[in-house]
Structure 1
Amino acid sequence: MWAHALSFSALPHVGGFLGWFFTRKEVATWFESLKKPSWRPPNKLFPVAWTTLYTSMGYASYLVWRDLGGFNSKAIVPLGLYGAQLALNWTWTPIFFGAHNLKLALVDVLCLYGLVLSTMYAWYPINKMATILMLPYLAWLTLASSLTYCIWRDNPKQEKGKRK
């Protein structure tokens, strides 16, 4: 069973790594040119936070999978919600850093927030510890949503295709 736990814990890192790999140069160039709120965390904190959060949410999904007896009809909704939120999580980076589409990134993160809440609601009766493991992620998404909103609001001409 440890191999399953390890696999589930590693899965979220795949999309996170790919998003970072294809957009990493945008942080030092485009992102640094944006107006950002003074309360934003330093850039060095983001990889540490996401490594911790991805591992935690991945392990939480393993707990739900295990308690449901694997992928079966009982797992469709709780693990489907998890998969959907993970997909939205993975798309935020290419939308924000790759496409420079601040408005769509804001829509993405707000939908992601709703899906994470829904995932936690679905997981609570199955495994309370899995739900608790999602709380730091929800807290970070609160920060990320606020940060995305402020960047979108304060940089109306920074999206691709718009004149500066």
Structure 2
Amino acid sequence: MEMVPAWAPAVGFTLLPHVGVFLGSKITKREIPTWYQTVQKPSWCPPNWVFPTVWGTLYTSMGYGSYLVWKELGGFNEKSVVPLGLYAGNLAVNWSWTPVFFGAHKMGWGLVILLLTTGTATATTTSWYNINKTAAYLMVPYLAWLSFASALNYWIWKNNHKKK
């Protein structure tokens, strides 16, 4: 029987968050040059190229953090259900933002999703802190970016939703 190389779980956990980027890329590639270009944005909105750069870095950091938690707890077992379950929930909520905001053009629901993402990321970070402090610290830039992204999403929603 062939053993899995020792580095494989680290690579797998680190790459896992990028699945959402891959799944949402068709939507963003279609909507950024068309719909998103017409959306009013604040002066403090970064240029479009910043977003994939930042998200790629954040996904790599949090993915590696999840590996550290998994390794510290001895894999998938009773002890890892809550910290890795919170993380899985966070990824699912995070990945849902692109189809809602860019695909359906639901800016208000996008904001709700970002706030839920921030809440689940905070719960994940808190649960990781007593398991592996490095893993928790790797989540801090993600939490900061989620705060910024929420403020940006709020501004865009407030200044672009249809007035009744």
Range of TM-score over shorter length: over 0.9
Moved over 2 A (4+): none
Alignment deviations for residues 106-155 of structure 1 (CA, whole Å, 9 cap, x no partner):
10000110110000000000000000001111111111000010111000
Please report how far the alpha carbon of residue 22 of structure 1 lies from its aligned counterpart in structure 2 after TM superposition. 2.9
- Establish whether residue 141 from structure 1 lines up as the match of residue 146 from structure 2: yes
Residue in 1 aligned with 2:124? 119
Q: Runs of 5+ in structure 2 lacking a partner?
A: 1-5
User: Per-residue CA shift, 1:37-87, capped at 9, x if unaligned?
Assistant: 110111011111111111111000000000010010111110000000100
Match of 2:28 in 1: 23
Query: How far, CA to CA, are the matches of 1:25 and 1:43 in structure 2?
Result: 14
**RMSD of the TM alignment (CA)?**
1.3
Once residues 87 and 116 of structure 2 are traced to their aligned partners in structure 1, the CA distance between those partners, rounded to angstroms, is 13
1:142-157 correspondence to structure 2 within 5 Å: 142-157=147-162
Tell me, in whole angstroms, the C-alpha distance in 2 between the residues paired with 1:150 and 1:51.
Answer: 24
**Residue 39 (structure 1) aligned to one of 41, 44, 63:** 44
Which ranges in structure 1 are unaligned for 5 or more consecutive residues?
A: none
Separation (CA, whole Å) in 2 of partners of 1:30 and 1:76:
40
Q: Which amino acid aligns with 1:11?
A: L
Query: Aligned equivalents of 2:122 and 2:28: distance in 1?
Result: 28
CA contact (8 A) 2:14 2:59 kept: yes
CA deviation after TM superposition for structure 1 residue 23, in Å: 3.0
Q: 2:10 aligns with which of 5, 8, 14?
A: 5
Q: How many aligned residue pairs are there?
A: 159
Work out which of the residue numbers 55, 59, 70 in structure 2 matches 1:65: 70
**Does the 8 A contact of 2:16 with 2:63 survive in 1?**
yes
- One-letter amino acid matched to 1:50: W
Preserved CA contact (<8 Å) 2:115 2:150: yes
1:54 matches 2:59: yes
Q: What is the TM-score of this pair, normalised by structure 1? A: 0.94
Q: Which amino acid aligns with 1:155?
A: N
Distance 1:65 1:21 in 2: 31
Q: TM-score, normalised on structure 2?
A: 0.94
Whichever residue aligns with residue 53 of structure 1, its letter is L
